[in-house]
Amino acid sequence: MRYFLGRSKERREVMPEKLAAVPVEAKAQTASASHNDKSSSSRTASSTSHVSHFRTVDPVTPNKIPQRRYQVLNVFYFRRKSTARTLLGICIKLGDRTWFRVLSFIALLGLSAFLGLIGAYGTATVVVSSALSQAVAWNIKIQRPTGYLSNNEAHDACMLVASHQNATEWNLLIGDRGIVDTLLNKPMFLVPSGEGVDMAASWFWFANLVQLVAMTFVAGQKGWDGVALVLLLGLHWAVFNIFPRSGLVHSWLQTEGIDAVLKSYELGGRMAMMGAIQAFSKSKITRWMDDIIVPHPRRDALLSCIEGKAMFGPEFSESDQQRTQSMAEASLAAAQVLERDFHPSRVLPTPPKAVV
């Protein structure tokens, strides 16, 4: 997730919402109206004494703005794409060729020999250690498990991920179910085992020690050996950062033919965000949000408003009903934005799955 968020250049979009002002209940009325209210309240007190009303929210005034806990929703849309012959794809496939690896190994050994001839022994040792480590890594076979990037269901995925239930930043993964399910729930590779793997691990530990000793030796020399090492590190940084190659994640996306679209949104509250996801998923199941927002009459009323039923219990005052309807309107507006940005004709029949 950090890879996509770090590469995203788009600004966070603020979801539209229509905030309805909380109606102010009159504190004083005319004498006749007050008399009628008192008489009517005395008649209904016995029948409604068991109903506990929600806490009344203070009205919104220009000098008193209610505190809101804004939520950030990062939506990742994964889809398959054709593996077209691009320059980056050709370079990635070229790096997997045996002859290219052999030539790279010979080139590194030649570079180390040249460095040894000019007296840069520490830098030459670092290059030899790196070349041997690459050769050892190439001989380790990584196997993919059964079901890798595949699924047995015909519908797309819709999964909500966050660090914990009270988070303010959430990730919604939608699109190809095989990709999303593999990223979140399935192992992506099998851990290799065997005598060769144990020997490779021992070599990597020894190579780290050799490079540390070689760099210490270079620092103590204070000569051309140090200059050569700095130039070598600068060249390595330029190759892997300036040129269009963004590490292993980008290489994996290109190799597997996966395209990812990311957009970030800011919503006014958690209830509005959950309602927007529920409306966007086109599902009737609400169990997925039980660990985030516990079942409550407020939640049930919000979901009913989103479905267009607007079912309120006797514990809802007029102000509670207006606030719930306003929140449902904000959820529906946010869901329309999601449908606009991520293929409006696409239908997600499955409920979201919360992973926290």
With a pLDDT cut of 90, the percent of the chain lying above it is: 19
Express each pLDDT in 58-83 by its tens digit: 444 444 445 678 899 999 999 888 76
Contact status, residue 302 vs residue 327, Cβ threshold 8 Å: yes
Q: Give residue 336's identity as a one-letter amino acid code.
A: Q
Average pLDDT score, the chain: 77
Residue 223 has a pLDDT of: 80
Residue 302 has a pLDDT of: 87
**Confidence check: pLDDT of 205 > 90:** yes
Residue 48 has a pLDDT of: 33
Structure tokens at 322: 């207006």
pTM, two decimal places: 0.68
**Confidence check: pLDDT of 52 > 50:** no
CA dist 128 to 26, 98, 133, Å? 84, 19, 9
Contact status, residue 338 vs residue 276, Cβ threshold 8 Å: yes
**Confidence check: pLDDT of 163 > 80:** yes
CA atoms lying within 13 Å on the CB side of residue 320: 16
Closest-CA residue to 296 (of 270, 276, 319, 333): 270
Torsion angles phi and psi, residue 258, rounded to 5: -115, 135
Residues 6+ apart with CB under 8 A from 121: 115, 217, 225
Contact status, residue 188 vs residue 169, Cβ threshold 8 Å: no
**Confidence check: pLDDT of 347 > 70:** no
Express each pLDDT in 33-50 by its tens digit: 444 444 444 333 333 333
